[in-house]
Chain A
Amino acid sequence: MKLKKTLFAASAMALVTSTGAFAETITIATVNNGDMIRMQGYTDDFTAKTGHEVEWVTLEENVLRQRVTTDISTKGGQFDIMTIGMYETPIWGANGWLVPLDDLSAEYDVDDILPAMRDGLSHDGTLYAAPFYGESSMVMYRTDLMEKAGLEMPDAPTWEFIREAAAAMDDPENDINGICLRGKAGWGEGGAFITVTGNSFGARWFDEDWNAQFDQPEWKEALTFFVNLMNDYGPQGYATNGFNENLSLFQQGKCGMWIDATVAASFVTNPDESAVADSVGFALAPNKDGVEKRSNWLWAWALAIPAGTQKEGAAKAFIEWATSKDYIELVAANEGWANVPPGARTSLYETAEYQEVPFAKMTLDSIRAADPTNPTVDPVPYVGIQFVAIPEFAGIATEVSQEFSAVYAGQQSVDEALEKAQALTTDAMEAAGY
Chain B
Amino acid sequence: MTDLLTPTFITAFIIACLSGAVPLMLASIGETVGEQSGVLNLGIEGVMLMGAYFGYVVALGTHSTWLGMLGGLVAGAATSLVLLVLNVWLGLNQIVLGIAITAAGGGITTVLYDQIYAKTSPRIPTDNWKIPGLSDIPVVGGSVFSQPAMFWVSLLITVIVAWFLVKTNWGLSIRAAGQKPSSLDAAGGSVMRTRSQAVLLGGILSGLGGAYLSVLATSSFTPFMTNGLGYIAIVVTMLSRGKILRVVIVSLLYGLTIAVGTVLQLTSLDVPTDLITMLPYIVVMIVLLIFGRDVNNSPVLGAPYTRGAR
Q: Are A and B associated in one complex? A: no
